[in-house]
Amino acid sequence: EAQVTQNPRYLITVTGKKLTVTCSQNMNHEYMSWYRQDPGLGLRQIYYSMNVEVTDKGDVPEGYKVSRKEKRNFPLILESPSPNQTSLYFCASTREGGEQFFGPGTRLTVL
């Protein structure tokens, strides 16, 4: 089954404690993205990757890092989380032609 998986699904942490949200896809897509969803703001792109070792900033990259060492994995790293990064995060994988497949989401709370 074609899918995008994210872990963890829920996370409560404290300010400054580094965390990583993993994302993996089994569709061999080259293009992957991370989004955050906030009330009244829709989905905003944080980072995207067009292929292995190729990443670029989206619209709201501040406070986040990503890496793309293998095609299937695209982890999102928060080196020093702050309360304004409390949000619902989605990873997405895009097939050629533009259709995006989203993961189930990770709800992050930073205290």
Residues in touch with another protein (CB under 8 A):
4, 31, 33, 35, 40-45, 48, 50, 58-59, 90, 92, 94, 98-105
Query: Of 46 and 78, which has the nearer Cβ to another protein?
Result: 46
- Supply the minimum distance, in Å, between the C-beta of residue 57 and another protein: 10
Q: How far is the CB of 88 from another protein (least distance, A)?
A: 10
Phi-psi region of 26 (alpha: psi -120 to 50; beta: other; left: phi over 0): alpha
Kindly state the smallest distance separating residue 13's Cβ from another protein, in Å.
20
Q: Sign of torsion, CA 106 48 65 27?
A: positive
Residue whose CB is less far from another protein, 4 or 110 = 4
58, 45 contact by CB (below 8 A):
yes
28: left (phi over 0), alpha (psi -120 to 50) or beta: left
